[in-house]
Amino acid sequence: MVRRATVLIADDDPSIRQTIEVIVQSSGMRAITASTGEEAIDVCSRQSVDIVLLDVQLPGLSGLQVLAQLHERHPDVGVIMVSVVKEIAVAVEAIKLGALDYLIKDFSPSELATRLTKSLEQLRAARELAWLREEVATRGRRPMIIGRSAAMASVVQIANKVAGKPVTVMITGESGTGKEVLARYLHEHGDRPGGPFVAVNLPAIPTELVESALFGHERGSFTGAIRQSFGKFELANGGTLFLDEIGDLKLDVQSKLLRALQEREIERVGSTRPIQLDLRIICATNRSLPKLVQEGVFREDLYWRLKVVPIDLPPLRVRREDIPALARHFLTNFAATYGRPPQALSEAAIDVLTRYSWPGNIRELENLVERLVVVCESQVIDGNDLPLDFSLVADMGREVERESNFASAVSSFERGYLRKVLQQNGWNRRRAAEQLGIGYSTLKAKLKTYGITRDDGPDDEEG
């Protein structure tokens, strides 16, 4: 349910307050009232207020004095000054002090509704600008490559079922499996795809700043807080907040996160004013939260609050049939990024990629493809273009697995390694020996022991 905007009507005339209240409510907004400037300031310190309709002439503190204090303490609250007569000097001063608009009291209901809507759009635009700055600082959006594997088909089936419902989702999986990409998929296929998607990498935030980063802070709330700051929750309002590596969150912040989820509201650091939330929470972790709960470093009530819909992302090694599609996708993207002509992967290269174990998962594959696009000049990237250590591990994996004891496995690995180095050096045995850091006679003895010979002709002795 979308939160209604809250409008505070600050006027000492009861009839004016009542008239404006009816107009505000008929415009689909929530109205609250105050009869003095002091009361208006107090309300804004205790409640979440979007717009203040502030009378210029109030008993006690004047409207301009109230405006100055609101702009100082709550710069996120929009203020529209209201006056009986049009005074240019007062209007100019009000705008200088931070008012969004200046309105004469002979307004019609439609004019007031229009001014309120316009001011709300200004406030929303300011928050979207802050969100865009956050977005630019993070990775660009990347499509989720589903692939053909049964493991990913199961993930997508669950994702499609829950995407349109604003339920909390917990994504688990090894590092580099694409948890943020899945979170973006849920957001973009959800009920508010036009809203912000704010991703928070919790381990990257210094421990002492996590609370401020999540919930925001008021000016002067701690050393270095020179201005009011929106937190990630506020930036994500109306959209999705993605909390990555939730298992790294400290216990003291966990309790505040639990309250935010339960009450659907937050308070900035240094404030007691609640800010209502209208967003979806998606969290992710590569750690075992049940184990952390047992160890007493993760709250059990928060765990169950977050684990409404769990989705486990499989590692790349169990979805090998998806590797070619992922590799080609990254190849196309990086070729465009670096202004390179389109490149392709040979069948031999694809074969090596699909046999590699990928401990770094999709992130490792992406990094490898980027490296190949940058350094490989040929239009077709072959198996020999892959880094030696990478292709060696892939090629030797099956042979080593077949061996029944340690000595046989070591011999199998050494045999494959020697062959790879010789291939890289055009079967020039002297250059290969130099690269291996062994004597030429030692290399010849090993080649004889393993029966390694060139398949397409005699070896090049000297080079």
- Tell me the pLDDT tens digit for each residue of 39-51: 999 998 888 899 9
Lowest mean pLDDT among 128-137, 217-226, 236-245, 256-265: 128-137
Q: CATH assignment of 316-385?
A: 1.10.8.60
The long-range contacts involving 38-45, CB below 8 angstroms and separated by at least 24 positions, are: 39/10, 40/8, 40/10, 40/66, 40/70, 41/66, 41/69, 41/70, 41/73, 43/8, 44/8, 44/70, 44/73, 44/74, 44/77, 44/273, 45/73, 45/74, 45/271, 45/272, 45/273
Binning pLDDT at 50, 70 and 90, where does residue 222 land?
A: confident
To 10 degrees, the CA torsion angle through 297, 301, 302, 306?
130
The CATH code of domain 150-314 reads 3.40.50.300
Instruction: Give the pLDDT confidence score for residue 389 in this predicted structure.
Output: 66
3-state class of 103 per DSSP? strand
For residue 241, pLDDT beyond 50: yes
Q: What is the pLDDT of residue 143?
A: 60
Phi, psi of 67 (to 5 degrees): -60, -45
Let me know if domain 387-463 sits in CATH 1.10.10.60.
yes
Q: Residue 308: what residue type? A: V
Answer for the pair 247, 289: CB distance below 8 angstroms, yes or no: yes
Question: What are the extents of the domains in the chain?
Answer: 6-124, 150-314, 316-385, 387-463
For the segment 270-277, the average pLDDT, to the nearest whole number, is 86
- pLDDT (0 to 100) of residue 136: 52
What Cα–Cα distance (Å) separates residue 297 from each residue in 210, 242, 255, 300, 308? 16, 21, 12, 9, 20
- Across residues 141-147, what is the average pLDDT? 64
**Do 6-124 and 150-314 share a fold?**
yes
Task: Let me know: does 201 contact 139? Beta carbons within 8 Å.
Answer: no
Mean pLDDT of the chain, nearest integer: 85
Contact 165, 146 (CB under 8 A): no
pLDDT beyond 80 at 108: yes
pTM summary value: 0.66
Percentage of residues in the chain having pLDDT higher than 70: 88
Residues 346-401: tens digit of each pLDDT: 988 898 899 888 999 999 999 999 999 999 888 888 887 888 767 666 555 554 44
- What pairs with residue 217 in β-bridges? 229, 269
**Strand (E) or helix (H) holding 345:** strand 344-345
> What count of other Cβ atoms lies within 10 Å of the Cβ of residue 140?
7
Please report, for residues 329, 343, 358, 380, 387, the alpha-carbon distance to residue 373 in angstroms, rounded to integers and kept in the order given.
12, 8, 19, 10, 13
Considering only 37-51, 140-154, 319-333, which range has the smallest mean pLDDT? 140-154
Whether the pLDDT of residue 15 is over 80: the answer is yes
pLDDT for 139 equals 46
Q: Would you state the structure tokens that stand for residue 68, as one six-digit string?
A: 């100055």
| The residue count for the chain | 463
Q: 3.20.20.210, 3.40.50.300, 3.40.50.740, 3.40.50.2300: which CATH number matches 6-124?
A: 3.40.50.2300
Q: What single string gives the DSSP state of each residue in 391-418?
A: HHHHHHHHHHHH-SSHHHHHHHHHHHHH
Say how many C-beta atoms besides its own lie within 10 A of residue 103's C-beta: 20
Q: What is the pLDDT of residue 2?
A: 56
| Bridge partners, 285 (sequence order) | 172
Question: Distance between CA atoms of 273 and 112, rounded to whole angstroms?
Answer: 27
pLDDT above 50 for 463:
no
Q: CA-CA distance, 57 to 55, in Å (whole number)?
A: 6
| Mean pLDDT, range 312-341, rounded to an integer | 91
